[in-house]
Structure 1
Amino acid sequence: MVEGMYAQYVKLAAPRARQPLLLWHGGGLTGVTWETTPDGRPGWQMYFLRQGHDVYVSDAVERGRAGWARYPEIFAGEPVFRTMGEGWGLFRVGPQEGWSRDPARRKAFPDTLFPVAAWDAFARQSVPRWSTTDSQIQAAYNDYVEKVCPCVIVVHSQGGNFAFNAALAAPGKVRAVVAIEPSGTPSAMTDASPLKDVPHLIVWGDHFGDSPFWQRIRGNVERWAGAIRDAGGTADILDLPAEGVRGNSHMLMMDRNSDEVAARIQSWMERRGLMR
């Protein structure tokens, strides 16, 4: 059996949330993203359980506990392996030229909130990924939504496009989408009108001025948010630096202020009527 995904859940005896919360990870990562931070603090899985949500954590097709399949017989192409230092600049912990194998020589942004002393622990969470399996991943996520929802989806990075498309495929099943620095969107020609009753929140960290790559990604995502609004829906933006919160990396759920960020998301869900 191949092309399945892994999911585990914790259900509360008396949840406050009206629907379960599904946590979807980003590229080269797994559900461990949500379980603990690299420096050993409880992750968002525990934070949102404490706020009264039933919480599901998953590993997408070909990631972590889901396992992967033979290539090229089943998966087209070969796996991609992220190097230990690639994310230093890509995830906006510091300038890429500030990366060093020697921890004592690494240069992060002076205000970074990522726990830089735990970078090596974070690097150990990276797993192989494919660039040719989007259709299999999307199909499994769509089946997941059909099986366990109605729900609220909290999604990170590469997972953003999968969540946007899952909501388009089953708008009656998805009560809201919270996208943490999503890196992809449906095509510019996609009709966003099915999402008019599915509120979206998009959350951005800091140091976009240091990354033309992320400036381009952010422009695409905010155009998609505009398409949702033009179709009569809700697409709110939580720009943390604009609200006076400086130094967040791409890995917001691991930064030293991760609970503060989660609290702002929780407040948004409260305002959207997603809690009892």
Structure 2
Amino acid sequence: MFTDHRIGYVTSPAPLYYEQFTTAGDGDRPVIVLVHGGLLTGACYLGTPDGRPGWAHDFADHGYELVVPDWPGIGRSGSVAEHTLSGELVCAALGALLERLGRPVVLLGHSMGGAYVFRVVETHGHLIEALVAVAPAAPGNLQPQPTVTAETDTEIEVLAPGTRWRFPKTGAFVATEEFVLDKLIGRDATRFPRHAVDVFRAGLQPLPAPLVLERYNLKGSGVRVERPDNFAGLPALVVTGSADLEHSREEDGATAAWLAGLGADLEYRFLADAGITGNGHMLMFDDNSREIAGSIAGWLADKAPSAGGR
């Protein structure tokens, strides 16, 4: 359970809001920093659309303190001019957050946040005890550039695994019904609380165009990781559901293999291999979200049991 709840702001290099939750644990475990994905805010870790406690509560029950930020320009973080907003700026602000915390952390990133936490390992690896990537976007140096299937002065359509998406070139992308049901929830997913889809949809945020175009590595614009130094020996876990449209066993397996190739102490958990099927992209919202969090906490207890650093 939480024993204290505080809020804070990073002001430079970009405004970043975060919440910090202290627990009744004995203080011998790293803080977990929970980085959200696109169209979301840090609130995705605080509760589920159908009213269950979220992953922050689940990890707190295992004795971890939590820090939950919103990306710059998203949610309760301050606005950022579109021409200056980039994944690199988001990563720099996350790095500044780690510097403010000043102690070893477990860095957990979901979806687009996965590519961001990979970059933060490169820049701030001395502050990271372990890495957890949940259905992570691949970095720009691993992800191929997309096939452009149509383009106008204001929009661009790209081919994605299993489908194609049309995005604005400026402004912000607002999730379509198809994107919500097929990409976020998962067209074949069975674990998402479907009676709460309206609540889920109501909490989605517009995603600034520069970030969504980077996510699909348009013209090679995705956030990149170039130096492997801070990945050597880093405990790293990749977790993927079996019904995630853009995160097949092969797609996320390639990301896991890339991390291992950088020297990370890597474990890849494709949930279906453990007989856990039906999970889509939003693992923290699915009906077995607490069990998945418990599994991650169990891995952390083995790989990053204390805050003593690597």
Q: Same fold (TM over 0.5)?
A: yes
Alignment correspondent of 1:194: 230
Q: Is residue 238–residue 269 contact of structure 2 (8 Å, CA) maintained in 1?
A: yes
Matched, 1:144 2:177: no
Alignment correspondent of 1:227: 261
Aligned partners of 1:31 and 1:177: how far apart in 2? 18
Alignment correspondent of 1:75: 82
- Equivalent residue pairs, number: 212
Q: Is residue 145–residue 166 contact of structure 1 (8 Å, CA) maintained in 2?
A: no
Identity of aligned residues (%): 28
Name the SS of the counterpart of 1:170 in structure 2: helix
Aligned partners of 1:56 and 1:10: how far apart in 2? 6
Deviations, residues 198-222 of structure 1 (Å, cap 9, x unaligned): 21100010125xx4x4347425413
Normalised to the residue count of structure 2, the TM-score between the two structures is: 0.63
Q: 1:59 to 1:265 in 2, by over 3 A?
A: same
Name the SS of the counterpart of 1:65 in structure 2: coil
Letter in 1 for 2:247: W
Structure 1 residue runs of 5 or longer lacking an equivalent are: 78-131
Name the SS of the counterpart of 1:201 in structure 2: strand
Alignment correspondent of 1:265: 296
CA-CA distance at 1:172 after TM superposition: 1.5
Deviations, residues 102-130 of structure 1 (Å, cap 9, x unaligned): xxxxxxxxxxxxxxxxxxxxxxxxxxxxx
Normalised to the residue count of structure 1, the TM-score between the two structures is: 0.71
Deviations, residues 212-250 of structure 1 (Å, cap 9, x unaligned): x4347425413422323xx3x301111110110011111
Alignment correspondent of 1:21: 32
Alignment correspondent of 1:179: 133
Name the SS of the counterpart of 2:30 in structure 1: coil
Aligned partners of 2:123 and 2:111: how far apart in 1? 20
Name the SS of the counterpart of 2:49 in structure 1: coil
Alignment correspondent of 1:95: none
Letter in 1 for 2:97: Y
Please show how residues 1-276 of structure 1 align to structure 2 within 5 Å: 3-15=14-26, 17-69=28-80, 74-76=81-83, 132-148=85-101, 149-185=103-139, 187-188=141-142, 190-208=226-244, 211=245, 213-215=246-248, 217-218=251-252, 220-228=254-262, 231=263, 233-275=264-306
Name the SS of the counterpart of 2:23 in structure 1: coil
Letter in 2 for 1:146: E
Higher strand share: 2
What is the RMSD of the two structures over their aligned residues, measured on CA atoms?
2.2
Structure 2 residue runs of 5 or longer lacking an equivalent are: 1-10, 143-224
